[in-house]
Structure 1
């Protein structure tokens, strides 16, 4: 299993909307994430900065990278683009973090 962490940014006036959308995440989105090997996926918000910290465990990097090609992921990105920083393709602007310590 591979641990991944990354940061994103949600707009200041959209914190509650971002949470609401994730509270009501589409079942087909959850199904796709699991199908592509995601486990223990959590997103945390620093309300003072709007910074989001995401952590998940995946089974395989190559398989995980293909999530972006799925129709449901593309639909989710389009749905979320008005509440967070996104790229031109509507994917979230994110910075993958490098693991520097792990206590098992």
Structure 2
């Protein structure tokens, strides 16, 4: 998939935002995080376009569940066939992005999914080894320059 516990901000000078939770406030009384919008890119190898679409037409239930548990919503992946770029967007609505991405990495089925899908891709991040290694991130985070809600 496309998560990184370090959430690189390569194009900006500000560090990643880290949400915190006041544990003394019951979860039912906490105000829901309105969400942090994230966009990322990676290159899809041309010989794997059909296979990539096929596996994403039937994402493993364990992977889908872990995405939800880790506070990811409104998740989409787009493909530009001319450049081979995959463009992903999602909204993070939790309170601890780094912690949730660590929890994502701890799931063996997610790591298995990443190992498979990483083989279909080429990272655009210098030094990236895999989605599982996480540092540097496999998917390159891109800066949002305009948003109209």
The reply to whether TM is greater than 0.5 is: yes
Task: Provide the C-alpha distance between the structure 2 equivalents of 1:8 and 1:29, rounded to a whole number of angstroms.
Answer: 19
Task: Determine which structure has the larger helix proportion and give its number.
Answer: 1
The answer to whether the 8 Å contact 1:46/1:52 transfers is yes
The answer to whether the 8 Å contact 2:62/2:110 transfers is no
Partner secondary structure for residue 101 of structure 1: coil
Partner of 2:146: 101
| Structure 2: runs of 5 or more not aligned | 1-34, 132-136
Instruction: Calculate the aligned-residue CA RMSD, in Å.
Output: 1.6
Task: Provide the C-alpha distance between the structure 2 equivalents of 1:69 and 1:4, rounded to a whole number of angstroms.
Answer: 21
In the alignment, structure 1 residue 77 sits paired with structure 2 residue 136: no
The answer to whether the 8 Å contact 1:38/1:64 transfers is no
| Structure 1: runs of 5 or more not aligned | none
Q: CA deviation at 1:100?
A: 1.6
Pairing 1:24-103 to 2, within 5 Å after superposition: 24-60=58-94, 61-66=97-102, 67-85=104-122, 87-88=128-129, 90-91=130-131, 93-103=138-148
List structure 1 runs of 4+ shifted beyond 3 angstroms.
Answer: none
Task: Determine which structure has the larger strand proportion and give its number.
Answer: 1
Larger-gyration structure (1/2): 2
Partner of 2:54: 20
TM-score (norm 1): 0.88
